[in-house]
Amino acid sequence: MRVLRTVAEGPAAGREQLYELAAGVAWEETFAQGRTFAVESAGRGSGFASGAFAALTVKDAIVDRLRARWGTRPDVARANPDLLVHLHLAGERADIALDSSGEPLSHRGYRPRGGPAPLSETLAAGVLLLAGYDGTQPFLDPMAGTGTIAIEAALIATNSAPGLRRRFACERWPLHAPALLAAERERAAGARRPAPFAIVAGDRDVRAVAAARRNAREAGVADAVAVVERDALDLTPPGPGTLIVSNPPYGERLGDAGDLAELYRGLGDAFKRRGAGATAWLLVGNPDLAKAVGLRPSRRIVLFNGPIECRLLRYDLYEGRRDRHEDGPRGVRAGDQSGD
């Protein structure tokens, strides 16, 4: 998701009309000399064989106008331009806009992009909200990887604005008002509060632990997240009523499913031994691995992690035998209250 500022809209049944529409924008008031730009396109126009050709038309109009006013040609950069112009085609009409965001708003700015099987920041935050996390209980991710879920939990617990520390493309606009944005950032920073309960992120991989600590620092929540190098099966919930949320490997991205079944069985055993009084939520992308946990989920929610269909499974962890706790006042077993 990005925030776009429309600068022109109108008829664009062919190259000539689109060129005139783009050339009529006062780009010299938007561009600063020495800055780079690029044009991206979306949608379909009836007068264009491809979106790429339409984008090239807008690029030519921008270059021609600025060269006529500056006497020099502006630079085009396909990767990481200072200014990104967005063209949207719809039949015989076009909308030309400036991208004020730069990277998508889902990118918080605290972790490098890429890496093996990342869980997006927004999916992690959504999982936490579905699990009912609001920062008023202890939190544990026993297989934290580079820490995305625990960091998102810390942002919630500390009431931190998720994009507070990232940069935006509009900051490079000549008409940008730095004082206004600085005031908004200061206001958001002032709303931050200490995390009231422990937030623990554990992983046995020393490199993942180092990355999680770095990401927590970049997110501004290093004071709220305890990142520990420890096997998931040895971690203990940090307090009564702990909420456990984790995204264990699925087998499709990080390892073979057959080799992971033992991990899931061990995780279920650890929940039985050390998890009494806690609630656990696992985002699982392989139904066979979910069965290996050996516990009956009380709720199932279908989610997609990219192209992978997953189940967010809730486990209510009890002291002693589960069957003593399953019958509610109407004789409905917790395991029959599935949301799947």
Q: Determine the CATH number of domain 121-167+193-336.
A: 3.40.50.150
Predicted TM-score of the model (pTM) = 0.82
Alpha-carbon distance of 226 to 202, in angstroms, equals 8
pLDDT of residue 336: 32
Q: Which two three-digit tokens encode residue 49?
A: 């064989």
pLDDT, tens digit, 9 for 90 and up, residues 158-203: 999 988 888 998 998 888 889 999 999 999 999 999 999 999 999 9
CA distances to 152, 203, 208, 298 from 290, in Å: 24, 20, 24, 13
Taking residues 143-156, report their average pLDDT.
97
pLDDT of residue 337: 31
Domain ranges of the chain: 4-99, 121-167+193-336
Taking residues 72-84, report their average pLDDT.
90
With cut-offs at 50, 70 and 90, classify the pLDDT of residue 4. Answer: very high
pLDDT, tens digit, 9 for 90 and up, residues 317-331: 986 555 444 444 333
Query: Is the pLDDT score of 82 beyond 50?
Result: yes
Alpha-carbon distance of 295 to 314, in angstroms, equals 10
Query: Is the pLDDT score of 88 beyond 70?
Result: yes
The correct CATH number of 4-99 out of 3.30.70.1230, 3.50.50.60, 3.30.2130.30, 3.30.2450.30 is: 3.30.2130.30
152 HSE (CA, 13 A, CB side): 23
The helix (run of H) or strand (run of E) holding residue 181 is helix 178-190
pLDDT, tens digit, 9 for 90 and up, residues 284-321: 998 889 999 999 999 999 999 989 999 999 999 986 55
